[in-house]
Every structure is written in C-alpha cells, then in structure tokens.
Amino acid sequence: MRLLRSRESVFAATILLLTASMARCAVTLDALGLYLTKNGYGGAQLVRVGNFYHLPINSNGKPANLIIDTGAPATLIFRPSVKALGLDELKTNAQVTGVFGQSREFYGTAVIKSLSAGNCMFTNVPVAIIPPLSAGRRYADSRGVLGLRELNKFGAVLDLFHRLIYFRPPRPSFDAGHTARLIRTTTGWKPIAPGAEVSQMMRSMLTEQGWTAVPFSIVRRHLRVPATINGVSCYLMVDTGAYLTILDADFAQRARIGGVPTHISAEGIGKFSRDISLAVFPSLRVGSYEIKKGSATVGVLDSEAIGRGTDSEVAGLLGIEHLAVNSAIFDFVSRTMYLRPPQR
C-alpha cells in the first residue's frame, strides 16, 4: 500500500495542553517537560482509558481521540469515522493485514489537511482507512490510532508515566546550508544532528532518576527491541496498541514456555486469533532491563507480520500492560526507550 507523504508541519508558540473534554487548561510539567518546552517542543496531554492512551485531537476542526499505537506503521482512521472527521476516502486494492493475518477488506487512504493536538498543528497528514474493530468498546470510541510513521517523523517524546506527548519543532538541516552544532568528544569537536543535544540531556536526566535506556530500531516499519525470554534471545515488537503482550506459539515452544488455555480470542487489524493461552515465566529482559515475573499471552502470529525466518524476525509483541507498569518513555529522535521499575 502506498501512502501520501506529509508536506508540512506547523508548531504553535504557546504551551496549552488539552484535557479529554478538549478544554484548555494549564498542566504542571516535570523537569523533563520543562526542559523540552524550553527547547521549543510542543505538547499535549494524554488520557488513559483502560489500558490505552488517547490523544485528543482536532481533525479539520472536528474533535476526536486517537490511540497512541507504536505497533501501527502509519496513522489509521476507522472507516465509520471518515465523514465525522471531514475526510474524503480514496479506495485502494490493498488488503488489510495485521499481526494475525490478512482480511478480506481493503485499505483506503485520505489526508487530514489540518490536525491539531495540544499546542501543535500538523498539516497534510496522510492516513490509511481501515474497517472498525469489533472490540470497539475497549477502544472507548477512538476514531483511529496515531501510528509509528508520524511519531517518528515529528520527533515525538512519548511519556506514558506522566501521560504526555511532546513533538519536536522543525530544525534546520545540515544540507540546507545551516551551521551545525558541535560537541566536545575525547577526539575533538564533532557535529551533531539537529535535536541530538536534547536527547543527550534527556538521557542524562532520566538515568539519574532511575530509568534504564533501551535502544530500539525501526525495521520493516515496526519498532523493535532486543529481548531475552526464558533465557532465549530474540526481538520484540513494541506495541502500545496491544492490550496484552503476546508471543508467537512457535517461539514459546522453542523457549519452553507453556501456557494455560483460555477462551480468549485476540483481535488485530483485519483478523482474529483464537486458542490464546496465558503464560508466566521467571524473567523477561528487554535490553538490559529486567521485568521480573514475566507474563504474556501465547498465540499463532502471522508469519509475514513477524518476519518469520528472516533477519528481522520478532518473537511477539511487547504490549501496553508491561510498558505502562514500567513507566515507559520513548524518544523517537535518539530511538531510545526508557523503563523504570514500579515505585513503591
């Protein structure tokens, strides 16, 4: 499926954050938030509903909510919401696919001409149109999801701990003839990419407060991290839109992870998975960070979706339940995820 490219983003000058009712109000920022806004970042407050984090937006002047979904390669709008958001859908012949396989329905495409969130405004944002999910109540009337492409493109800092999201202001590029910033290293002064100095300070601030840095990569349009489960090394796709962590049944067998059968059926974009089991194991290590008493669901995942048999294969999805409990913060500029144990 080919999506249109965003042409422009515009940032407002003031820091006003929105609540769930879309009313403007002041928000008390922590040290990280104050530092980011001082460096020109805009922001918006997230609303947690159940396991998910919703971003209040205006699409072409119409209020709505989008779930923050790092597991979605692009921003998606549910088809019943197209008219409500003032969009015009262009049909495609690309079938909807997800982690559980391909459906019989087809993607559409559209462009949100004006999308505002908090004190930030983006223009000409391309979106994919997908059929509604049957588990609609779980998504609390969300109109769709804000996906990985936009989080990455707009240099987001996603702070689940404080329920805030920040967006980086446009920065001059080296190839545009602007002067590069320099940092002193052991081998002398070196240029750094625009925004990298903010990421370096952010890393210092968070590690001093007990967060552990875990580098992530974006492979095949998915965010993945190195992991070790039951002593078996692997990669996991990080998915804030996944209600629970899920491991592929083949990997679970290789890692000697059993499970208790359930009557649960998991739903992804386009298709269901049945025969879901629940498993508990001694340790789930993400990068150098350990989640004690690891737990996950186990099911059959689509071979193409997880890259089975390729260098980009993942063992499953790291879901929002572990990310929320471990206070995940994402910096999409440096491609670093930060995790911290629950505070007692």
Q: Give the per-residue pLDDT at 244.
A: 93
Q: Give the per-residue pLDDT at 140.
A: 59
Mean pLDDT by 10 residues, the chain (344 residues): 36 35 60 94 94 95 96 96 95 89 90 94 95 65 94 96 93 46 55 72 97 97 96 97 94 92 75 79 94 91 93 96 97 97 83
H-helix segments, 83-224: 148-153, 196-208
DSSP result, 114-152: EEEETTEEEEEEEEEEEPPPS-GGGGTT--EEE-HHHHH
In which residue are the tokens 């908090």 written?
Answer: 118
Domain-wise residue ranges, the chain: 8-167, 216-339
Q: Give the per-residue pLDDT at 100.
A: 84
Q: How far apart are CA 257 and CA 255, in angstroms?
A: 5
Q: What's the token pair of residue 75? A: 């921003």
Task: Say if residues 68 and 329 touch (Cβ distance below 8 Å).
Answer: no
Domains 8-167 and 216-339 equal at CATH topology level: yes
Q: How far apart are CA 147 and CA 240, in angstroms?
A: 10
CATH of 216-339, one of 3.40.190.10, 2.40.70.10, 3.40.640.10, 1.20.1250.20: 2.40.70.10
Q: Give the per-residue pLDDT at 12.
A: 35
pTM: 0.86
Q: What are phi and psi of 37, to 5 degrees?
A: -65, -35
Sort 153 into a burial class: Cβ within 10 Å, 0-12 / 13-18 / 19+: middle
CA count, 13 A, side-chain hemisphere, 249 = 14
Q: What's the token pair of residue 93? A: 């012949």
Q: Which fold does the domain 8-167 belong to in CATH?
A: Cathepsin D, subunit A; domain 1 (2.40.70)
Q: What are phi and psi of 210, to 5 degrees?
A: 100, 0
Q: What's the token pair of residue 334? A: 């440096």
Q: What's the token pair of residue 112? A: 């949100």
Q: Give the per-residue pLDDT at 3.
A: 31
SS3 letters across 18-74: ECCCCCEECCCCCHHHHHHHHCCCEEEECEEECCEEEEEEEECCEEEEEEECCCCCC
DSSP result, 232-263: EEEEEEE-TT-SS-EEEHHHHHHTT---EE-S
Closest to 315 measured CA to CA, from 231, 267, 218, 248: 248
C-alpha triplet 213, 223, 174: angle, nearest 5°: 80
Q: Give the per-residue pLDDT at 171.
A: 61
Q: Give the per-residue pLDDT at 27.
A: 73
